[in-house]
């Protein structure tokens, strides 16, 4: 069957071959009109018309023969190895024309199906010259992709025919999560945390290790004035402390069914990944150790704890390709796994769906044990859909039912959340746009308060 | 690389097996009898006219087959007879003129055709009620098979040779010096029928009486050759044919221009989207299916109680009847708390509710919810 398909493709000269140009169509129309008029006015013999048609084609083929050869064109594609999801990138294709005729090109790059780019690309390459064509591409779905073929069509000298060729150029592209928020954080943490900015300054006076001596400003704790330096410099100086470094932060990412729910932009898993990476970046920048675990029914990825900004790259490479699984999350398995691999006391941040987490009964039991050694916190994305459903207008039985069920779920969630918090397990829900900010500020709060 | 190699090998085997199959079927297939067209003078089949041809050949000697175009028939008065038995097509105008000129120079044509309408300006009329008895011009009666459903319209100049109760079966018409004998019964001359009934006598009566000895008798085989029929091209003017050809060629180029693949093959795939409300939709459908209206109402009432606790500090565990006073203080004045709470407790105590009461009470509770959340 496959060989038959190949034969058929070969018969049709797929991705290769020639095709008539628009000008040939116009020329042929004019010729046909003339031939019909001639046939109407005078009686011509029957061999005449086919011969004239044949001649027309032969002459047009001359144009094809004189156009640049396929071998005289060469192509080179410049493509970044990593594309961030939904970001726009410019991809360059360099075309070198070795022939002594200029040629008009049209290109289609063999990008994966999910990529978005405006094709075909048009351009002209001068005789014995080169030119760079570029196009904008967006990749909305994370994953590892292969870009290989480049499809090219170019016109003959008079545009009667078009030649087609395909160039094989293999590139491997990774589509990684959107790192805008991570970069924003790394550039200016204060700016990034403006949304919840007050929390960053809340710091218990005696915690942390000595960082530096600086000028006293209004609002600083007068108990921290460094009198020795003040006397030396004739200026009021104060000691500054910062939280201890070298703490352990473990980020758990749930990849189960409910994390596939669509949000305004992307789905829950995308948001959770972005927030996880930003939190990891924040922790690594502070000099902490970061470990990452992605799980659904089973453990999917685990990055053991390490520190330094290089580790962010390692984390990214490990988790960029995680997909939403069709199964339910197995929290117990993830917690059990963690308790075997984590040797030191650690902050455990779980990104998951609050509802499925609350419905899991065995998780509470495991978490109680985990809490004895580690600090646990769960971060979920607020379900705006549910909130809207509890308030929607009702006009028939169906909407009334949906509404009452939404209210029941919300009620259940509030009750369970209170119950969990009573046990000392904190759980926050953040708006989808502010998930990363909320996660980072929670992390900073915990570090500042010296809870670890 | 390996797949293409195995594919090629498979192809070779396929060809070999096919050839073998064709060879075996050629050897094993039984000899089928040779097929002849109708009214061919070489055909020994029941539909052929070889019998009559051979008879004339033996009797007359100078019998030949005419396989050329009628333009080549001699224009001399050579006392020739051309038998056109069951022509398979109607010759075009030029050929008709050639036949006419053959007639005009004093020769004879015997045209045997079930419906000769359109040849030699002969006209026919459809008839019904055929008896099978044929009368000659002399008044003698013969028995014959007649399949034709038409009879020849004879005018005054025509000499009706044979007729039956329905009309003229054979007519003699003069063309200048020659004669055209037309009959609507070609089946008489076939091998299978010639000796049946009085067919042979009737045929001989058609060609014999005028002339007992022909110099040459031709059997027209030209009109049996399918390749000699005028093509469909003769029907249409030249310009239309040229237009047709050019249109076909243009369509081919245009399809080529339009249909050539450019770019990668994208296979259509299914996109799945998961919405976060799938859980509540499923639960709601289940509640609705099992008509748990009372349960749904109590959920709504509970939720409002929870909201009241959050907003107004009214204790959640209090009964509805106990919160009347608290409510009266909080809710705007135009609200009839008394009737509302009495009705609600009544409805909540019922096990089965109608759809209508359910929707109306849901609306009432929702109003209170709005009051609590927004007011």
Which whole-number Å values give the CA distances from B172 to A27, A302, B115, B142, B148, in the listed order? 60, 109, 16, 19, 18
Quote the tokens at residue B302: 């509970």
Of B166, B90, B82, B102, the residue nearest B131 (C-alpha): B166
- Whole-number pLDDT of residue B227: 62
**Residue B277 Cα to chain centre, angstroms:** 54
pLDDT digits (tens, 9 = 90+) for B328-355: 888 776 778 888 888 999 998 988 889 9
Of A24, A253, A67, the residue nearest A154 (C-alpha): A67
**CB within 8 Å of A61: residues ≥ 6 apart:** A161
> Is B117 within 8 Å of B157 (Cβ atoms)?
no
Per the prediction, chain A carries an average pLDDT of 89
Interface mutation target, options A404, A408, A412, chain B, most CBs of B under 10 Å: A404
- Whole-number pLDDT of residue A129: 92
Task: List, in order of start, the domains of chain B with CATH numbers.
Answer: 2-31+233-257 (no CATH), 50-224 (3.40.50), 269-374 (no CATH)
Q: How long, in residues, is chain B?
A: 375
Task: List, in order of start, the domains of chain A with CATH numbers.
Answer: 1-176 (2.60.40.10), 193-242 (no CATH), 248-448 (3.40.50.410)
- Whole-number pLDDT of residue B129: 64
Interface mutation target, options B1, B242, B290, chain A, most CBs of A under 10 Å: B242
Neighbours of B323 (CB within 10 A): 19
- Whole-number pLDDT of residue B120: 77
Helix (H) / strand (E) containing A369: helix A361-371
How far A432 CA sits from the closest chain B CA (Å)? 13
> Is A173 within 8 Å of A412 (Cβ atoms)?
no
Interface mutation target, options A401, A409, A418, chain B, most CBs of B under 10 Å: A401
Characterize A220-236 residue by residue with b for buried, 16 or more Cβ atoms within 10 angstroms of its Cβ, and e for exposed: eeeeeebeeeeeeeeee
Measured between CB atoms, does B354 come within 8 Å of chain A?
Answer: no
Of B234, B106, B261, B227, the residue nearest B174 (C-alpha): B106
d(CA B280, CA B299): 13
Of A419, A386, A420, the residue nearest A403 (C-alpha): A386
- Return the percentage of chain A with pLDDT > 90, whole number: 55
- The chain A residue lying nearest B298, using CA atoms, is A404
- The chain A residue lying nearest B361, using CA atoms, is A400
Taking an 8 Å cut-off on Cβ atoms, the answer to whether B359 and A397 are in contact is yes
Give B138's DSSP letter: T
For residue B359, list chain A residues with Cβ-Cβ distance below 8 A. 394-397, 400
Measured between CB atoms, does A136 come within 8 Å of chain B?
Answer: no
Residue of B10, B263, B297 lying closest to A151 (CB–CB): B263
Taking an 8 Å cut-off on Cβ atoms, the answer to whether A17 and B306 are in contact is no
d(CA A346, CA A307): 14
- Whole-number pLDDT of residue B1: 47
- Whole-number pLDDT of residue A187: 87
Task: Report CA torsion sign: B321, B325, B326, B328.
Answer: positive
**Residue whose tokens read 């008029």:** A37
pLDDT digits (tens, 9 = 90+) for A38-52: 888 887 777 888 899
Q: Is residue B2's pLDDT more than 60?
A: no
Neighbours of B165 (CB within 10 A): 11
A62-89: average pLDDT: 92
Give A254's DSSP letter: E
pLDDT digits (tens, 9 = 90+) for B248-266: 999 999 999 999 989 898 8
Q: In the structure, what pLDDT confidence band is assigned to residue B5 with cuts at 50, 70 and 90? A: low
Measured between CB atoms, does A69 come within 8 Å of chain B?
Answer: no
How far B228 CA sits from the closest chain A CA (Å)? 17
One-character DSSP codes across B144-176: -----SEEE---TT-EEEEEETTEEEEEEEEET
> Is B105 within 8 Å of B82 (Cβ atoms)?
no
β-strand partners of A173:
A145
Measured between CB atoms, does A35 come within 8 Å of chain B?
Answer: yes
Query: Which pTM does this prediction carry?
Result: 0.70
Per the prediction, chain B carries an average pLDDT of 81
- Whole-number pLDDT of residue A199: 46
How far A107 CA sits from the closest chain B CA (Å)? 8
d(CA B300, CA B293): 11
- Whole-number pLDDT of residue A198: 45
Taking an 8 Å cut-off on Cβ atoms, the answer to whether B284 and A6 are in contact is no
For residue B302, list chain A residues with Cβ-Cβ distance below 8 A. 407, 411
B231-239: average pLDDT: 73
Residue ranges of B 246-265 with Cβ closer than 8 A to chain A = 246-247, 249-250, 253-254, 256-257, 260-264
Q: What is the CA radius of gyration of chain A?
A: 33
One-character DSSP codes across A69-103: PGGGEEEEEE--SEEETT-EEEEEEEEEE-SSS-E
Which whole-number Å values give the CA distances from B192 to A293, B44, B189, B202, in the listed order? 97, 9, 8, 15
Residue of A15, A32, A409 lying closest to B246 (CB–CB): A32
Measured between CB atoms, does B10 come within 8 Å of chain A?
Answer: yes
Q: Is residue A67's pLDDT more than 80?
A: yes
Taking an 8 Å cut-off on Cβ atoms, the answer to whether A267 and B274 are in contact is yes
- Whole-number pLDDT of residue B210: 52
- Whole-number pLDDT of residue A351: 95
- Whole-number pLDDT of residue A406: 93
- The chain B residue lying nearest A395, using CA atoms, is B359
Neighbours of A312 (CB within 10 A): 19
Of A250, A249, A295, the residue nearest A269 (C-alpha): A295
How far B112 CA sits from the closest chain A CA (Å)? 35
- ∠ CA(A91), CA(A113), CA(A87), 5° rounding? 45
Characterize A353-382 residue by residue with b for buried, 16 or more Cβ atoms within 10 angstroms of its Cβ, and e for exposed: bbbbbbebeebbebbeebeeebbbbbbbbb
Which whole-number Å values give the CA distances from A277 to A317, A340, A352, in the listed order? 11, 24, 15
How large is the greatest C-alpha to C-alpha distance in chain B, in angstroms?
138
ipTM of the predicted structure? 0.76
- Return the percentage of chain B with pLDDT > 70, whole number: 91
**CB within 8 Å of B297: residues ≥ 6 apart:** A404, B347, B348, B353, B358, B361, B362, B365
**Residue A248 Cα to chain centre, angstroms:** 27
Measured between CB atoms, does B14 come within 8 Å of chain A?
Answer: no
A398-426: average pLDDT: 89
B162-167: average pLDDT: 78
How far A113 CA sits from the closest chain B CA (Å)? 6
- Whole-number pLDDT of residue B318: 86
- Whole-number pLDDT of residue A274: 94
Q: Is residue A203's pLDDT more than 90?
A: no
- Whole-number pLDDT of residue A202: 45
d(CA A189, CA A202): 15
Taking an 8 Å cut-off on Cβ atoms, the answer to whether B249 and A113 are in contact is no
β-strand partners of A365:
none
B90-102: average pLDDT: 79
- Sheet hosting strand A73-78, strand order edge to edge: A73-78, A88-97, A130-138
Taking an 8 Å cut-off on Cβ atoms, the answer to whether B280 and A22 are in contact is no
Which whole-number Å values give the CA distances from B288 to A26, A399, B284, B345, in the listed order? 66, 10, 6, 22
d(CA A315, CA A305): 10
Of B265, B223, B209, B186, the residue nearest B98 (C-alpha): B223
Quote the tokens at residue B154: 């004879």
Query: Strands B80-85 and B108-112, how do they pair?
Result: parallel
- Whole-number pLDDT of residue A150: 93
pLDDT digits (tens, 9 = 90+) for A146-201: 999 999 999 998 999 999 999 999 999 999 999 998 998 888 887 777 666 544 54
> Is B327 within 8 Å of A432 (Cβ atoms)?
no
**Residue whose tokens read 């209508």:** B356
Residue of B6, B246, B263 lying closest to A119 (CB–CB): B263
Taking an 8 Å cut-off on Cβ atoms, the answer to whether B284 and A404 are in contact is yes
Q: Is residue A92's pLDDT more than 80?
A: yes
Region of residue B103 (left: phi > 0; alpha: psi -120 to 50; beta: else): alpha
- The chain B residue lying nearest A28, using CA atoms, is B250
Measured between CB atoms, does A21 come within 8 Å of chain B?
Answer: yes
β-strand partners of B206:
none
């Amino acid at each position: 069957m496959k060989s038959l398909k190949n034969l058929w493709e070969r018969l049709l000269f797929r991705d290769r071959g020639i095709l008539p140009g628009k000008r040939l169509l116009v020329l042929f129309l004019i010729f046909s009109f003339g031939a019909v008029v001639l046939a109407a006015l005078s009686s011509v013999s029957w061999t005449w018309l086919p011969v004239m048609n044949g001649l027309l084609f032969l002459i047009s083929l001359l144009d094809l023969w004189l156009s640049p050869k396929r071998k005289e064109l060469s192509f080179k594609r410049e493509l970044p190895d990593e594309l961030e999801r939904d970001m726009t990138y410019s991809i360059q294709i360099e075309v070198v024309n070795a022939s002594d005729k200029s040629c008009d090109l049209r290109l289609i790059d063999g990008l994966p199906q999910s990529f978005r780019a405006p094709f075909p690309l048009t351009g002209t390459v001068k005789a014995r010259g080169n030119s760079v064509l570029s196009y904008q591409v967006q990749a909305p779905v994370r994953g590892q992709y292969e870009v290989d073929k480049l499809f090219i069509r170019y016109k003959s000298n008079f545009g009667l025919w078009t030649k087609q060729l395909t160039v094989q150029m293999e590139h491997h592209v990774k589509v990684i999560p959107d790192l805008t928020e991570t970069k924003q954080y790394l550039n200016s943490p204060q700016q990034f945390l403006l949304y919840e900015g007050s929390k960053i300054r809340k710091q218990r006076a005696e915690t942390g290790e000595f960082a530096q001596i600086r000028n006293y400003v209004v609002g600083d704790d007068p108990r921290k004035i460094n009198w020795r330096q003040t006397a030396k410099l004739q200026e009021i100086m104060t000691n500054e402390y910062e939280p201890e470094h070298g703490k352990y932060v473990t980020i758990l990412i749930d990849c189960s069914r409910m994390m596939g729910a669509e949000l305004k932009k992307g789905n829950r898993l995308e948001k959770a990944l972005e927030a996880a990476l930003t939190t990891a970046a924040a922790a690594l920048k502070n000099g902490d150790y970061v470990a990452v675990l992605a799980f659904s029914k089973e453990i999917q990825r685990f990055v053991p704890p390490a520190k330094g900004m290089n580790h962010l790259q390692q984390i990214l490479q490990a988790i960029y390709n995680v997909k939403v699984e069709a199964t339910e999350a197995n929290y117990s398995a993830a917690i059990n796994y963690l308790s075997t691999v984590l040797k030191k006391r650690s902050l455990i941040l779980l990104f998951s769906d609050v509802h499925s987490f609350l419905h899991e009964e065995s998780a509470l039991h495991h978490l109680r044990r985990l809490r004895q050694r580690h600090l646990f916190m769960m971060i979920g994305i607020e379900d705006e859909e549910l909130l809207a459903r509890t308030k929607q207008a009702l006009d028939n039985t169906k909407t009334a039912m949906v509404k009452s069920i939404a209210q029941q779920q919300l009620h259940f969630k509030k009750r369970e959340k209170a119950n969990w918090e009573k046990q000392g397990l904190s759980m926050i829900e953040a708006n989808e746009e502010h998930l990363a900010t909320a996660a980072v500020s929670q992390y900073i709060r915990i570090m500042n308060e010296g809870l670890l | 690389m390996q797949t293409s190699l195995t594919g090629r090998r498979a192809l070779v085997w396929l060809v070999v097996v096919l050839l073998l199959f064709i060879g075996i079927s050629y050897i094993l297939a039984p000899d089928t009898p040779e097929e002849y067209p109708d009214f061919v003078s070489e055909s020994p089949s029941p539909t052929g006219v070889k019998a009559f041809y051979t008879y004339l050949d033996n009797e007359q000697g100078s019998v030949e087959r005419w396989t050329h175009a009628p333009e080549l028939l001699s224009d001399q008065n050579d006392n020739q007879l051309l038998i056109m038995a069951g022509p398979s097509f109607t010759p075009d105008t030029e050929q008709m003129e050639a036949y006419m000129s053959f007639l005009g120079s004093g020769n004879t044509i015997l045209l045997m055709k079930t419906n000769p309408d359109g040849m030699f300006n002969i006209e026919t009329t459809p008839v019904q009620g055929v008896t099978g008895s044929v009368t000659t011009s002399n008044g003698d009666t013969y028995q014959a098979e007649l399949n034709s459903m038409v009879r020849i319209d004879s005018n005054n100049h025509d000499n009706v040779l044979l007729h039956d109760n329905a009309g003229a079966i054979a007519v003699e018409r003069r063309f200048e010096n020659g004669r055209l004998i037309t009959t609507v019964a070609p089946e008489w001359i076939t091998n299978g029928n010639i000796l049946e009934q009085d067919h042979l006598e009737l045929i001989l009566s058609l060609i014999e009486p005028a002339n007992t000895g022909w110099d040459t008798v031709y059997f027209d085989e030209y009109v049996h050759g399918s390749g000699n029929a005028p093509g469909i091209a003769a029907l249409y003017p030249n310009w239309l044919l040229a237009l047709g050809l050019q249109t076909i060629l243009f369509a081919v180029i245009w399809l080529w221009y339009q249909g050539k693949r450019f770019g990668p093959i994208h296979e259509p795939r299914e996109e799945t989207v998961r919405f976060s409300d799938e859980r509540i939709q499923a639960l709601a459908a289940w509640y609705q299916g099992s008509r748990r209206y009372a349960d749904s109402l109590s959920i709504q009432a509970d939720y409002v109680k929870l909201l009241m606790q959050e907003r107004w500090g009214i204790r959640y565990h209090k009964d509805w009847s106990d919160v009347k006073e608290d409510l009266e203080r909080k809710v705007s004045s135009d609200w009839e708390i008394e009737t509302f709470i009495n009705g609600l407790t009544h409805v909540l105590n019922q096990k089965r509710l109608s759809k209508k009461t359910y929707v109306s009470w849901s609306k009432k509770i929702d109003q209170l919810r709005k009051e609590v959340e927004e007011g």
